Structure 1
Amino acid sequence: MCPAQRRLSVRSSFSCLLRGIMEDHLDLLFGVVLLASPVLAISSCSSDGQLALYRFCNLTQVPWVPSTTKTLLLSFNYIETVTASSFPFLEQLGLLELGTQYTPLSIDREAFRNLPNLRVLDLGGSHMRFLHPDAFQGLPHLFELRLFFCALSDAVLKDGYFRNLDLSFHPSFWELNSLKSIDFSLNQIPIVCEQELKPLQGRTFSFISLAANNLYNTVSVDWAECMNPFRDMALETLDVSSNGWTADITGNFSRAISGSQISSLVLTYHIMGSGFGFHNIREPDRSTFAGLARSSVVRLDLSHGFLFSLNSRLFESLQHLKVLNLAHNKINKISEEAFYGLNRLQVLNMSHNLLGELYNSDFRGLPEVAYIDLQNNHIGIIQSETFQFLKALQTLDLRDNALKTISFIPSISTIFLGSNKLATLPNIRLTANFIHLSENRLENLDSLYFLLRVPHLQILILNQNRLSFCNPAHAPTGSLSLEKLFLGGNMLQLAWETGFCWDVFKGLSRLQVLYLNNNYLNFLPPGVFSDLTALRGLSLSNNRLTVLSPGDLPANLEFLDVSRNELLSPDPDLFAALSAVDIRFNKFICECELHPFISWLNQTNVTVFGSHADILCMYPASIAGIPLSSVSMEGCDEEEVLTSLKFSFFILSSVTLILFLMAVLMVTKFRGFCFICYKAACRLLSMDQAKGSGSDVYKYDAYLCFSNKDFEWVQNALLKHLDAQYSDQNRFTLCFEERDFVPGQDHIANIQDAVWSSRKVVCLVSRHFLRDGWCLEAFSYAQSRCVSDFDGALILVIVGSLSQYQLMKHQSLRGFVRKRQYLRWPEDLQDVSWFLNKLSQHILKKEKETKRDGDIQLRTIVTVS
């Protein structure tokens, strides 16, 4: 039932419950505009003539308020006493809130006589020091009285006048002929018998609460003497929850009130049942509720207890029951015929229990049940006929369980299967018009195609699955009934980038709302929305879209959410026909290309969701974080600016071209000298500082792999210019076999240590290198590291006159030479300094990981001739 309304019919209760569940998932795409009656906001400790708000005002007595006041709120003050003269004559006052005073409260005789039309009196939460027997005289129209958590007990009786009469029911209530609702919860009322409530006999109450009083729990009750406290009364809702009742107390109470008409009985937070792993408190049986057979109970709430096993024919005496709430117990076992006798039950709530398996016989005896809630159990197995015989069943809620198949699903209209372990869907016949399958493990779009073929399906929720794989052999489904489709939180990008399943929305001519948020989309397949002629709302938020083309969106679209994408310079014509759009948190480039969009944004009639402070520039850096509405685009459309720039550009380009050609000739002819001058200038300007590798974990900057026959050349050409141990001016810590390999250790182990302990591996490939097996072995290890780490740690330097053909003859080098760049030792001596600088840059360079999802690697051969 809806908690805010205790007096709903069963039909409206069921509708409210189902609507509440569906609203969790079917909120409008961008919110709804609500037209509500205006609420006049007034400051605290003041009155506007009708509403007097005096909460938290440190009052010690009732303030003066206008005679036109209809609502008076006095909670959270220090009022100690209310007498007959406390209130002025307030004929229109309908609600008085006097509860939760910070000091004990005394209510004197006829304290409210100047409030003749009072309908609701709230004294809840105030410690009642004294309550006169005639306190409520003069309130003929009082409908609801709240006395919860008031510490009511015999101790507050004045002079022992009502020594043998519990204060809760003394004569001050007898003349309240209009009273329909009484709340005595959270007090200390140990027992209520027929004699105390005799003056209330023959009356009808919408709500009576005796919850959280330890009622009948701390005293011994002689029920033969106490008898039925609610004799000859009609109660719409009786709340006796949180009193610590066992099955025995409940059985005694139900027998005592036998015959009293109670539509709704609330017994939540009880201790009936053994719970999980205990056996010290017995489970209720068929005798526990037998006394309610003549009470016509329609709604029974036994939630938040310790029921472990539902015994056979437990509820058979409740012939009129239509709503049964067993949620938040420890139910693990349903005995055979447990629900026999519930021939009129329409709503069964068994959520948040410990059910693991469901059997064919579990729900027999429920011919009229329309809604079964089994969410938040541990159900992994359900026999195929468990729900098939429930001909009136309309809604089945199995969310938050451990189901791996749905072959047991009957022909019903609403199915909740979210948060299970479904990886595939069996080919069964479904007839539902609402299917909820979010937070499962569906990967193949076959499941989506299958569900789109369900006849009469109107709402399909597949959020937060793993839809990412697509079989090419699919024909468009053409569902003519689907209206709302939720596919957020999947991975459709992986499926669409293969080029297949672009027709998944073909034929959905009645689809009105489509969610595709959080799908990693960086493009929209051409024409993917072309058949969605009825689409009104589309969510593409939290994707990676950088551009939207005019033909990407449906023609009749009204609401579009493209927030949190990577749109750079969107075309304003895309949004001109919309009613509302959300474009927050994109990566707008605030240059002249964005000028049309900014102009549209500042003058459009389209509703733009969110604050303009959330629509920001991301580039250039000088205005990053500035709202688009604050960016000036002055001069972007000025033709004279372009004209004046033409001549300047021509002169500048001509001079630049001449200078560039002269520079190329000079560098080509004297490139060695130019490079020496460049290095000298860098040193003078302190520009040649080592970049450093931060928290580099490598022992060596580079491992030089070469044939020992080339050692003398390597020493003169490289080591003396690069290795720090040869000269303090050198920057690198290099590793090579002759110096750094550990004598006596296995040669393979030395090679492995050198490869994995160095940031880069430099292989000096000469004719001797190609004949040296150890060198080729080291090359293989370095190449393996590149593959495993996806980096460019291997640097190949060709030494001598080795041709491309000679390199390609070696199988181990062939793949590298084809796909990766390599260096060649210069033949001209004036290029040696440049080459050493280039090699140093390669050694210092930190490689980024490369994407391997279809990108084409470009092969570049750097050759110095």
Structure 2
Amino acid sequence: MKQEKIMRSREARHFQLSLLFCLLNFSSFAIPVTGYSLKNCRINYDYIAICSKSKLKAVPQDIPSRVRSLDLSENKISKIRESDFKDLPNLTNLNLKRNNISKIDKGAFTNLNSLKCLNLNNNKLVQLQDNLFHGLSNLTELRLASNHIKTVASSSFQALTNLKFLDLSINNLQCLTSVQPIIQHLPRLQVLSIKQNNLFTFQSWELSNKSIELVSLDLSKNPFDVFKLTADVFPNLTWLNLGYSGKKHPMIWDVQNRTFLRRVSKLDISGIHLSFDGMKTLLESVNSSLTSLMMNDMKGNLGALINISCKIPSLSTLQLRQNALKVVTSSLLQLCVNVTEVDLANNHIQNLSDNSFRSLQQLRTLNLKRNRLSSVPGATRNLPTLVELDLSFNKIGALGCHDFVNLTSLRELSLQNNSISTLKDCVFKDLNKLQSLKLQTNRISDLNGAFKKYLPNLKFLYLNANKLTTITQREFASLQSLKSLSLHQNQIKKLQNGAFIGLTNLVNISLESNKLENKEIKAGVFSGIRNLTRLNLMENRIKYDTDAEMPDPPFSQLTRLETLLIKSQHYRLKSHLPRNFLQGLTNLLVFNCRNIQLLSLHLHTFNYTPQLTELDLSSNDLTDVYADLFSPIPNLKQLYMSTTNLRSLDFFLRANLTKLQFLQVRKNAFSVISEREMRSLPALDYLDMYGNSFTCNCDNAWFLQWVESNNQTQVYDAYNLECNYPTDRKGTRLLDVDVHSCSLDTGLICYISTTCMVLLFLVVSFTSQFLRWQLVYAYYLLLALLFDTKKKNKQAPNQYDAFVSYNVHDEAWVFRELLPKLEGEQGWRLCLHHRDFQPGKPIIDNITDAIYGSRKTICVISHRYLESEWCSREIQVASFRLFDEKKDVLILVFLEEISTSQLSPYYRMRKLLKRRTYLSWPRAEQHTGVFWEKLRRALETTDHPAGDRLLLTNQA
């Protein structure tokens, strides 16, 4: 009985688990998915929707409401409709430049209450109608440059009460009165640009009769005949641009009171058409406040203008670009004693007198770039106040030991884009305060110890784009303050051990685009730079033939490195990465090995980089990716695996990338995306799968629905993804495929499931009430059939003469009567369950083994026997053996008289009694000898189907 309870308990648990499994599967089908895609736009991490250069003719309507910035520039939009931005309340920046916009509907911006910046540059607007910008009460910046604006309605800008910046440059405003409506409605406007319009006069009364709070006013490139101020309308103006104003003949300058421009500190009069006297008058108008003056491309007497300008005591910055100067003499700037910054760039200077800047006792910044100097001029020496010197883009071929003598305050020196071929060890000896040195794009092939003794405060050194081939030991030993070293685009083949010793504060080094091989990338090279956070080794010749462990990992000492770039190595043969290539990089955040011809990655490659957040493996042949490759880097947020020949994304199932936000897997070989793969990336915001060959059938039905359904994961350019299979759909857009026939109606499923469960309940209730015994019999019949078939296949040999099947309540008769006669007197070998069953073996297995291991089965039948579950199983197995094998294996012995009605639930038993004879113990009370003789003869019979019919009778 105990065994029976155990079996029932196991069957119940099995049923419960099966039901739970089915419910879980059903619930997973019903869980909402996440995903969204824009037809012509993409959205980055800062909720900026980028729809530029998409050939749009109208504003797209699928932009999510949470977007804060929308870039619609460089499209073909011709009209802004009233409904275009109604669902974008969070928008703060809207870029509509370079479209064909000629009309904006009234109320188009009404719902953009959060908008701060609006760019409408380079469109085709001709007029600004009333209340055009209604709703933009928080707008601070408005750009309307490069349109065709001729007229401005009086209330166009009425709603822009917080506007601070307005650009109306390059339009067709022909009269200053057109600007008046703008000014009077913008109380907080600080910056106004109306350059390059068709304004012929500038008279203050046309603009306003009251003070304007402008700080910056750009009037450049207007054909002014007259510039006249009759009132103090610009009390706060500090920046005035009049560059290239006037026609070919001089304009009239009329500022009736010098105090009207009393706060102007920055003035641009480059290329202005004004008489000398008018220029003198202009400069006198700003005499008390001017600090910065731009006189580029002047047509008159430059020297005289400089002398007048330098008499302004507050002047500190003088810009003199594009004045075709070839020679600078000492007299040119002799009156500029207070000037601290001189800009002589973009002239044709070939010579500078040695005393050109001697009078500038406070000179701090000197710009001589883009001239024709062949050597460092003597005029730049002995300037102890100079902080910044720019000699770039000249023709300097060599540097001497005295070129920078006594420049003891110099902090920035620019010598890039010259023809310098070599350095001397003494060239920088006086530059003790230098912090930035630019020597890129020269012809330097040898450093000659220039950085072994001097420049103790240098922080940034640019030596890129030269012809260096070797970095020797301690080459930069004196640069203990250096933070960034640029050596890219040289021809470096050799890095000696200790090449960077002394650079204790170095955080960034670029060795990109050289000729370094893997033998040069070793730990000894990087010794001494333990604070390095960024190392660029891209586009070299680093190649490994095996992924075997390296004895001396190259980056083992760079424990603070955060970014390692080794992409695009210059070789065509396939390569590997040693399994411990990244050993020591415990703080690495970014690793880029794109396009280095990798064949595979070892399973333990990333065991050393637990903090990795960005990984680029694109353009490698990673057909097979280990399922646990990414397990050591659970913090990964960005993963690039484009063009890697991936056939599946199933490796994500065990990757544990729960923080991954950005995934790019362009141009691979996978065609089906499963639900489990996407669910394994719960934080995914951006997915780029462009260029894959998708299967467009029910295999991808879930993915198609996921792409369009919700709003967590953006699938980049999903509307342009194409089908490749089946062939009749090749070239079809993925999202045009109808997969509704693939999906099941959840409501219908629930209805059918509920109906079936109710019907099943009714059937079970009816059966248990009226057909209980028939159901029990059928259940045991099925089990017997299953076990019978199993044992038939085994075809076990006979170990016993007979198996005795009896109930425990009848064991007294078996032990006292049956066992002594059959085993004791007749010598038969019997199988009894209490004696011969194998301990620990399942009961049903013991029963079937006993029946099929015995020639005969003796069933000792009583009322108790018929009520026993296990006895019923025993007789069922025996009867199946009898009828299926056609062998005489069954002997029925009735201990009690049992009526036919009591046997009715046991259909097989009744059938046996009708077709066969049997032995009855109650009828043999007076003739027990005959009973035992008939039983002996039954045991001796052969396996012929009718072998016992003549031996057994019902009258035993």
Structure 1 range deviating more: 621-630 or 174-183: 621-630
- Structure 2 residue 407 is the aligned partner of structure 1 residue 342: yes
Kindly provide the amino acid, as one letter, of the partner of residue 309 in structure 2: P
For residues 452 and 612 of structure 1, do their structure 2 counterparts lie closer, same or farther at Cα, with a shift above 3 Å needed?
Answer: farther
- Structure 2 residue 511 is the aligned partner of structure 1 residue 437: yes
- One of 446, 458, 465 as aligned partner of 2:533: 458
- One of 170, 185, 199 as aligned partner of 2:270: 185
For residues 579 and 85 of structure 1, do their structure 2 counterparts lie closer, same or farther at Cα, with a shift above 3 Å needed?
Answer: closer
Partner of 2:224: 128
- Structure 2 residue 658 is the aligned partner of structure 1 residue 577: yes
- Structure 2 residue 339 is the aligned partner of structure 1 residue 243: no
Task: State whether residues 352 and 377 of structure 2, in contact with CA within 8 Å, keep that contact through their aligned partners in structure 1.
Answer: yes
Task: State whether residues 176 and 199 of structure 2, in contact with CA within 8 Å, keep that contact through their aligned partners in structure 1.
Answer: no
- One of 289, 303, 306 as aligned partner of 2:372: 306
Task: State whether residues 83 and 109 of structure 1, in contact with CA within 8 Å, keep that contact through their aligned partners in structure 2.
Answer: no
When the two structures are superposed, what TM-score results if normalisation uses the length of structure 2? Answer: 0.54
- Structure 2 residue 339 is the aligned partner of structure 1 residue 233: no
Task: State whether residues 462 and 485 of structure 2, in contact with CA within 8 Å, keep that contact through their aligned partners in structure 1.
Answer: yes
- One of 198, 201, 221 as aligned partner of 1:106: 201
Task: State whether residues 347 and 371 of structure 1, in contact with CA within 8 Å, keep that contact through their aligned partners in structure 2.
Answer: yes
- Write the distance in 1 (CA, Å) between the matches of 2:45 and 2:597: 24
- Write the distance in 2 (CA, Å) between the matches of 1:587 and 1:560: 14
- Structure 2 residue 718 is the aligned partner of structure 1 residue 612: yes
Partner of 1:354: 419
How far is the alpha carbon of 1:140 from its aligned partner? 0.9
Partner of 2:18: none
Partner of 1:785: none
Kindly provide the amino acid, as one letter, of the partner of residue 94 in structure 1: Q
Task: State whether residues 94 and 118 of structure 1, in contact with CA within 8 Å, keep that contact through their aligned partners in structure 2.
Answer: yes
- One of 248, 262, 284 as aligned partner of 2:352: 284
For residues 204 and 151 of structure 1, do their structure 2 counterparts lie closer, same or farther at Cα, with a shift above 3 Å needed?
Answer: closer
Task: State whether residues 80 and 104 of structure 1, in contact with CA within 8 Å, keep that contact through their aligned partners in structure 2.
Answer: yes
Task: State whether residues 582 and 608 of structure 1, in contact with CA within 8 Å, keep that contact through their aligned partners in structure 2.
Answer: no
1:73-222 equivalence runs, <5 A: 73-82=167-176, 86-87=180-181, 89-90=184-185, 91-101=187-197, 103=198, 105-114=200-209, 116-132=212-228, 134=229, 137-151=232-246, 155-157=250-252, 167=253, 174-188=259-273, 197-205=283-291, 207-214=292-299, 216-217=301-302
Structure 1 range deviating more: 373-382 or 263-272: 263-272
Aligned to 2:340, what secondary structure does the other structure show?
strand
- Write the distance in 2 (CA, Å) between the matches of 1:85 and 1:516: 57
Partner of 1:559: 638
Kindly provide the amino acid, as one letter, of the partner of residue 82 in structure 1: L
Task: Give deviations 1:413-448, integer Å, cap 9, x for gaps.
Answer: 321001000112122242232110111111225425
- One of 569, 587, 599 as aligned partner of 1:490: 569
Task: State whether residues 522 and 552 of structure 2, in contact with CA within 8 Å, keep that contact through their aligned partners in structure 1.
Answer: no
Task: State whether residues 309 and 335 of structure 1, in contact with CA within 8 Å, keep that contact through their aligned partners in structure 2.
Answer: no
Aligned to 2:535, what secondary structure does the other structure show?
strand
1:686-725 equivalence runs, <5 A: none
How far is the alpha carbon of 1:616 from its aligned partner? 5.2
Kindly provide the amino acid, as one letter, of the partner of residue 718 in structure 2: H
Kindly provide the amino acid, as one letter, of the partner of residue 318 in structure 2: L
How far is the alpha carbon of 1:308 from its aligned partner? 0.8
For residues 93 and 530 of structure 1, do their structure 2 counterparts lie closer, same or farther at Cα, with a shift above 3 Å needed?
Answer: closer
Task: State whether residues 111 and 136 of structure 1, in contact with CA within 8 Å, keep that contact through their aligned partners in structure 2.
Answer: no
Compare CA radii of gyration and give the structure with the larger one.
2
1:652-731 equivalence runs, <5 A: none
Task: State whether residues 42 and 48 of structure 1, in contact with CA within 8 Å, keep that contact through their aligned partners in structure 2.
Answer: no
How far is the alpha carbon of 1:525 from its aligned partner? 1.9
Task: Give deviations 1:808-852, integer Å, cap 9, x for gaps.
Answer: xxxxxxxxxxxxxxxxxxxxxxxxxxxxxxxxxxxxxxxxxxxxx
- Write the distance in 1 (CA, Å) between the matches of 2:406 and 2:434: 12
For residues 256 and 615 of structure 1, do their structure 2 counterparts lie closer, same or farther at Cα, with a shift above 3 Å needed?
Answer: same
- Write the distance in 1 (CA, Å) between the matches of 2:465 and 2:612: 31
How far is the alpha carbon of 1:297 from its aligned partner? 2.2
Partner of 2:488: 418
- Write the distance in 2 (CA, Å) between the matches of 1:196 and 1:414: 47
1:806-817 equivalence runs, <5 A: none
For residues 85 and 550 of structure 1, do their structure 2 counterparts lie closer, same or farther at Cα, with a shift above 3 Å needed?
Answer: closer
Task: State whether residues 588 and 617 of structure 1, in contact with CA within 8 Å, keep that contact through their aligned partners in structure 2.
Answer: no
For residues 55 and 323 of structure 1, do their structure 2 counterparts lie closer, same or farther at Cα, with a shift above 3 Å needed?
Answer: closer
How far is the alpha carbon of 1:321 from its aligned partner? 1.6
Aligned to 1:111, what secondary structure does the other structure show?
helix
1:40-51 equivalence runs, <5 A: 40=115, 41=118, 44=125, 45=128, 47-48=132-133
Kindly provide the amino acid, as one letter, of the partner of residue 640 in structure 2: D
- Write the distance in 2 (CA, Å) between the matches of 1:272 and 1:442: 41
How far is the alpha carbon of 1:483 from its aligned partner? 0.8
For residues 515 and 628 of structure 1, do their structure 2 counterparts lie closer, same or farther at Cα, with a shift above 3 Å needed?
Answer: farther
How far is the alpha carbon of 1:569 from its aligned partner? 1.6
Partner of 1:821: none
Kindly provide the amino acid, as one letter, of the partner of residue 205 in structure 2: E
Aligned to 1:545, what secondary structure does the other structure show?
coil
Aligned to 2:261, what secondary structure does the other structure show?
coil
How far is the alpha carbon of 1:81 from its aligned partner? 3.4
Task: State whether residues 568 and 587 of structure 1, in contact with CA within 8 Å, keep that contact through their aligned partners in structure 2.
Answer: yes
How far is the alpha carbon of 1:235 from its aligned partner? 3.6
- Write the distance in 2 (CA, Å) between the matches of 1:488 and 1:109: 61
When the two structures are superposed, what TM-score results if normalisation uses the length of structure 1? Answer: 0.60
- One of 494, 497, 513 as aligned partner of 1:427: 497
Kindly provide the amino acid, as one letter, of the partner of residue 357 in structure 2: F
Task: State whether residues 583 and 615 of structure 1, in contact with CA within 8 Å, keep that contact through their aligned partners in structure 2.
Answer: no
Partner of 2:332: 253
How far is the alpha carbon of 1:489 from its aligned partner? 0.7
- Structure 2 residue 542 is the aligned partner of structure 1 residue 467: yes
Task: State whether residues 592 and 636 of structure 1, in contact with CA within 8 Å, keep that contact through their aligned partners in structure 2.
Answer: no
- Structure 2 residue 619 is the aligned partner of structure 1 residue 542: yes
Task: Give deviations 1:564-599, integer Å, cap 9, x for gaps.
Answer: 321112114247524223334233443698985654
Task: Give deviations 1:480-504, integer Å, cap 9, x for gaps.
Answer: 111100111126995744xx73211
Task: Give deviations 1:13-37, integer Å, cap 9, x for gaps.
Answer: xxxxxxxxxxxxxxxxx97667778
Task: State whether residues 547 and 570 of structure 1, in contact with CA within 8 Å, keep that contact through their aligned partners in structure 2.
Answer: no
- Write the distance in 2 (CA, Å) between the matches of 1:149 and 1:592: 62
Partner of 2:394: 329
Aligned to 2:250, what secondary structure does the other structure show?
helix
For residues 391 and 72 of structure 1, do their structure 2 counterparts lie closer, same or farther at Cα, with a shift above 3 Å needed?
Answer: closer
Task: State whether residues 255 and 285 of structure 2, in contact with CA within 8 Å, keep that contact through their aligned partners in structure 1.
Answer: no
For residues 368 and 79 of structure 1, do their structure 2 counterparts lie closer, same or farther at Cα, with a shift above 3 Å needed?
Answer: same
How far is the alpha carbon of 1:143 from its aligned partner? 2.1
Partner of 1:409: 476
- Write the distance in 2 (CA, Å) between the matches of 1:333 and 1:72: 49
Partner of 1:503: 580
Aligned to 1:175, what secondary structure does the other structure show?
helix
How big is the alpha-carbon RMSD for the aligned residues of Structure 1 and Structure 2? 3.7
- Write the distance in 1 (CA, Å) between the matches of 2:566 and 2:251: 62
- Write the distance in 1 (CA, Å) between the matches of 2:497 and 2:461: 19
How far is the alpha carbon of 1:172 from its aligned partner? 6.4
How far is the alpha carbon of 1:268 from its aligned partner? 0.8
- Write the distance in 1 (CA, Å) between the matches of 2:586 and 2:455: 34
Kindly provide the amino acid, as one letter, of the partner of residue 291 in structure 1: S
Kindly provide the amino acid, as one letter, of the partner of residue 611 in structure 1: D
Kindly provide the amino acid, as one letter, of the partner of residue 435 in structure 2: A
Structure 2 regions of 5+ residues with no counterpart? Answer: 1-43, 49-67, 70-90, 94-114, 679-699, 746-956
- Write the distance in 2 (CA, Å) between the matches of 1:129 and 1:117: 25
How many equivalent pairs are there?
574
Structure 1 range deviating more: 239-248 or 147-156: 147-156
Kindly provide the amino acid, as one letter, of the partner of residue 546 in structure 1: T
